[in-house]
Amino acid sequence: MTVDSNSELETQIAEWRAYVRRRQEMHQADAEELEDHLRGRIADLTEAGLHPDEAFLIAVKRMGSLDELSREFAREHSDRLWKQLVLTGDDPAGPARSRRELPVMVACAAAAALAIKVPGWLGLDMDSDAAASFFLRNAGLFALAPLAAYFAWQRRLGAGVIGLLAAFFALGATAVNTYPMAGDSHTLVLAAIHLPIALWLVVGVAYVGGEWRSGQRRMDFIRFTGEFLIYYALLALGGGVLTAFTAGTFNAIGINPETFISQWLLPCGAVAAVVVAAWLVEAKQSVVENMAPVLTKVFTPLFTATLLAFLGAVAFTTSVIDVEREVLIVFDLLLVVVLGLLLYALSARNPAAKPGLFDKLQLALVVSALIIDVLVLIAITGRITEFGFTANKTAALGENLILLANLAWSAWLFLGFIRGRMPFGRLEQWQTRYLAVYAVWAWTVVLVFPPLFDFA
C-alpha cells in the first residue's frame, strides 16, 4: 500500500465516520467500534490483494445500510431517541470552562439566595411595613443582579460592558430607594413593576455579550426570554410541590414549618430559581426543542377565535366597553399576549419559508386585537380628558400606545409579506429594533414618573 492510497483511505474512513456520527442513535463509542470493524475488514481484503479503494467499498457494503443499522441501534438503545440533558458535566472532553459552568451557576444562585436574607440579618424587621416596602422596591434588583453577574462571567464580558451593567443597576437601585415615595403610593407600585422589566433588558445586554446592536443577538435574547419564562414556571411548580411536602411532613410531626417556608424557602427559592432557570435554558438550548414556539402554534388559533368571537359579540350587541382603569390594564395584557404570540412565532419561523395558512391566521389575530384596542382607546380618551392624567392612567395608556404602534406596524409588514411584497426579515428587524422602545419606556416609568407625578 502506498502512502498516497493510504491517506486517501484515511479520508474515506473519516468521511464514513462523520456520516455515522450524524445519526443520533449511534454514539461516539459505537462509531469507534464500527470503524474498528471496518478497518479490520479492509486490512483483510487488501491483504487478499484488493486495492484499498475497492476494499473500502466492499467493507462499507458489508457493514450494511446505515438506515437499517441505525434502526437496529435505535431498537436496542431507544433511550437515545429521547434527547437527554446531561447535567452532571461529566463530559471529560469538554473544555475546562464548561465544566466550571455548574459550580459558577450554583454559586450565583446561592449568592442570590443569601443576598435576599442579608437585609433581615442587618436588622430589618421582616414582618414590618418597612420590610414590605423595601422588598417591593428592590425585588427586581435581588432577582436580576446575580443573573447579570452570571452572564457577565459566562459571556466573558469586558470591563466596559460590566461597568455599564453596574451603572444601570446602581441607577435603578438609587432611584427606587431614594425617591420619597410612600409604601402604598401609585408611583412606587409602578416603579416596582417596571424596574424588573427595565433590568431584564439590561440583563439582555449581558446575555448578548455586549453585542446589543446586533438584530440576530437580540432575537436570541427574545427566544431566551420566552424559554426562561417557561422554565421559571416549571421550577415554580416544582417549588410548589416541595413547599407542600415540607409543610405536610413537618406538620405531621408537630413542627410548624411556616416561618421557614415564608422566610427561607419561598424568597430564597424564588431568587435562586431565576439563575437556575436561565442556566437551564442555556444548557438545553441545542438539546431540547424550544417550547415557546410550540405553545404559540397551539394558542394562536384559539386566541384568534376568541378575539373574533368577542368582536362579533360587540358588533352584534352593540354594547359599549365599560371603561375603567382595570379594563385598560386587561387590554394592555391582551396586547402583550398577542405580541408574545407574534414574537415567538417569528422567533421560530424559517425566514426563507413562503407565507402559509398560519401566517394568515397570525395576521387575523393581530388585526382583531388592533380593532379591539382601538375601540378601547376611543372609549377611554374621553374619560381621561374628563378626569385628567394620573400616574396609573398615564402608564396604562402609554403602554397601550406602545404596543398598539408595534402591532399596527407589524400588521402592515405582515400584510406586505403575505402578499409577497416584503421579505420576512423586515418583520424580524422591526421587532428586534422595538426592544429599545420597551427599554426606554420601562426606564422612563422608573426614573421620570415618580418626580413627574409628585411621588403620589
Partner 1 sequence: MHITKDLVAASATPLVLGILAEGESYGYAILKQVNNLSGGHLEWTDGLLYPLLHRLERLGYVESHWQSPAGERRRKYYRITDLGRAELTEQRRQWAAVVDTLRGVWNAAPMPLPLIAPAGA
Least distance (Å) between residue 37 CB and partner 1: 5
Contact predicate 370/411, CB 8 Å: yes
Query: Which of 63, 329 has the CB closer to partner 1?
Result: 63
Least distance (Å) between residue 62 CB and partner 1: 5
Query: Which of 39, 117 has the CB closer to partner 1?
Result: 39
d(CA 266, CA 240): 9
CA 98 to chain centre: 21
Backbone angles phi, psi at 200, to 5 degrees: -60, -40
Least distance (Å) between residue 4 CB and partner 1: 21
d(CA 114, CA 110): 6
Least distance (Å) between residue 73 CB and partner 1: 5
Least distance (Å) between residue 58 CB and partner 1: 10
d(CA 224, CA 442): 19
Q: Hey, what amino acid is at 14?
A: A
Least distance (Å) between residue 98 CB and partner 1: 24
Query: Which of 44, 91 has the CB closer to partner 1?
Result: 44
Query: Which of 39, 284 has the CB closer to partner 1?
Result: 39
Least distance (Å) between residue 24 CB and partner 1: 15
Residue 293's nearest CA partner among 214, 358, 365 is: 358
Contact predicate 107/150, CB 8 Å: no
Cα distances (angstroms) measured from residue 52 to each of 16, 55, 56: 15, 5, 6
Query: Which of 78, 177 has the CB closer to partner 1?
Result: 78
Determine the Cα angle at 437 with ends 349 and 182, to 5°: 125
Query: Which of 93, 253 has the CB closer to partner 1?
Result: 93
Query: Which of 75, 419 has the CB closer to partner 1?
Result: 75
H-state helical runs in 179-291: 186-207, 215-252, 258-260, 266-284
Cα distances (angstroms) measured from residue 26 to each of 19, 20, 70, 83, 129: 11, 7, 7, 13, 60
d(CA 323, CA 252): 50
Contacts 24+ apart (CB under 8 A), 126-133: 126/263, 129/183, 130/183, 132/183, 133/183, 133/188
d(CA 405, CA 285): 32
Query: Which of 77, 433 has the CB closer to partner 1?
Result: 77
Query: Which of 23, 349 has the CB closer to partner 1?
Result: 23
Quote the cell numbers at residue 99: 465544566
Least distance (Å) between residue 39 CB and partner 1: 7
Cβ neighbours of residue 301 under 8 Å, at least 6 residues apart?
A: 361
Query: Which of 40, 180 has the CB closer to partner 1?
Result: 40
442570590: which residue's cell?
A: 112
Radius of gyration of the chain, Cα coordinates, nearest whole angstrom: 28
Residues that bind partner 1 in the complex, under the rule CB under 8 A: 29-30, 32-34, 36-37, 39-41, 44, 59, 62-64, 68-69, 72-73, 75-77
Least distance (Å) between residue 8 CB and partner 1: 19
Least distance (Å) between residue 82 CB and partner 1: 17
